[in-house]
Amino acid sequence: MKPHANSFTLSTLAVIIFTSWILAGANVAFASPRQNILADYAARVKIQTPGFEGFSTDRGKKLFLSKPGTGKPDIPSCTTCHSNNPANPGQTRAGKAIEPMAVSRSPARYTDFKKVEKWFRRNCKSVTGRICTSLEKGDFLTFMINQ
Amino acid sequence: MPKTPIKYLVAIFAIFLTGTTVQADERYDPVRNQVVIDECGACHMVFQPQMLPKKSWVKIMNDLSDHFGEDASLDASSVKLITKYLQENSADSGWRDGKFMRGLSKNSTPLRITKTPYWVREHNEEVPQRAWSDPKVKSRANCPACHRRANSGDYDDD
């Protein structure tokens, strides 16, 4: 009976260690992609602005609601497609629904750096006529994370 | 008792036969390539490539940074993959031309499905003018607003 009991305890121990390892890993994977993207933008801002004090929800909100008037006349604002309220779904110009931009409503958002960059590139150009700065991107994400 | 399985087989075969003839006539293959679905399905439905000729798809894919007034630009490798898929499944790719080649003159390269003679004819006759101004429709390119099963390639709603 003894060897049997031994192997039982050992395998139980292994299962416990393995499970906690997975849980810890899953935890990290949960929190990190979006935080990593933000940290990446912050690092870029710091290079240009040594006194940088962090991203701002208010500035992000202003960017979201603004109508800069320097982009395409048919696409005056982020709200043209994303609606005035980040908690609400938006609509493309071809009538397709867009999931809400607020992280509280769409938890999968801003977790894929390539996707985030692709859409900033396209949408900032359409709305403002130029690319967005890292500061603007970080502010925008911060606003959406706090919605 | 050994007869029953054969009966079933014949029945299944018959259903299969009628099913395929109907499909070949009325359906468009839904897009199954994940890159095409992800990159061409964010702003509108993923249009079935059988609705435009090869040269239209090539022209669309060469001009993604000014795509109907929007920036739909992509990395070079995705552009290459998507262009290949669209060409291989275009209206003029099969052993005979698809419906969307009907009435299309040899030297025209439509950039819109909604500008092809076949599409225009199907919709001029049957769609009342007020249907287009319904806010839920918003655009002619919003096929799923009227064709509930558009994404699966089924446009025969009667």
Residue pLDDT, tens place only, A9-36: 656 655 555 555 554 544 444 558 999 9
A122 contacts B72? CB cut-off 8 A:
yes
CA distance A38 to A69: 27
In a domain, B67, yes or no: yes
Domain span at residue B66?
27-152
Asked whether residue A11 falls in the same domain as residue A42, the answer is no
In a domain, B20, yes or no: no
In a domain, B94, yes or no: yes
Place of tokens 């262009």: B83
pLDDT band with cut points at 50, 70 and 90 for residue B8: low
For chain B, what is the radius of gyration of the CA atoms? 19
Asked whether residue A3 falls in the same domain as residue A70, the answer is no
Domain total in chain B: 1
Q: What tokens were used for B90? A: 């275009």
Asked whether residue A55 falls in the same domain as residue A95, the answer is yes
Asked whether residue A19 falls in the same domain as residue A82, the answer is no
Calculate the dihedral angle through the C-alpha atoms of A48, A53, A55, A56, rounding to the nearest 10 degrees. Answer: -130
Q: Which residue has the higher pLDDT, B19 or B133?
A: B133
Share the mean pLDDT of chain B.
86
Beta bridge partners of A91: A97
pTM, rounded to two decimals:
0.86
A contacts of B45 (beta carbons < 8 Å)? 96
Amino acid at A31: A
Say which residues have a Cβ less than 8 Å from residue B119's Cβ, sequence separation at least 6.
B51, B100, B113
Q: Domain holding A72: CATH number?
A: 1.10.760.10
pLDDT band with cut points at 50, 70 and 90 for residue B129: confident
In a domain, B114, yes or no: yes
Instruction: Name the 3-class secondary structure at B121.
Output: helix
CA distance B75 to B77: 6
Q: What is the pLDDT of residue B125?
A: 82
Q: Is the pLDDT of residue A71 over 50?
A: yes
Q: Chain A contact for B64, CB < 8 A? A: no
Q: Are A124 and A132 in contact (CB under 8 A)?
A: yes
Q: What is the pLDDT of residue B97?
A: 86
B69 contacts A72? CB cut-off 8 A:
yes
Give the best residue of A122, A127, A130, A132 to mutate against chain B (max B CB count within 10 A): A122
CA distance B66 to A126: 10
Asked whether residue A111 falls in the same domain as residue A41, the answer is yes
Domain total in chain A: 2
Q: What is the pLDDT of residue B134?
A: 87
A91 contacts B45? CB cut-off 8 A:
no
Task: Give the gap in angstroms from C-alpha A8 to the nearest C-alpha of chain B.
Answer: 46
Domain span at residue A3?
1-30
Q: Tens digit of pLDDT for each residue in B13-41? A: 554 544 444 444 458 999 999 999 999 99
Task: Give the gap in angstroms from C-alpha A1 to the nearest C-alpha of chain B.
Answer: 55
pLDDT band with cut points at 50, 70 and 90 for residue B82: very high
Q: Chain A contact for B133, CB < 8 A? A: no
Strands A90-91 and A97-98: antiparallel
Task: Give the gap in angstroms from C-alpha A96 to the nearest C-alpha of chain B.
Answer: 5
Asked whether residue A53 falls in the same domain as residue A70, the answer is yes
Q: What tokens were used for A113? A: 């750096």
A92 contacts B137? CB cut-off 8 A:
no
Q: Is the pLDDT of residue A41 over 70?
A: yes
In a domain, B86, yes or no: yes
DSSP state of B29: P
Beta bridge partners of A90: A98
CA distance B153 to A81: 26
In a domain, B127, yes or no: yes
Instruction: Name the 3-class secondary structure at B103.
Output: coil
- The predicted model gives B147-158 an average pLDDT of 89
Of B42, B72, B139, the CB nearest to A95: B139
Q: What is the pLDDT of residue B22?
A: 41
Of B44, B71, B145, the CB nearest to A122: B71
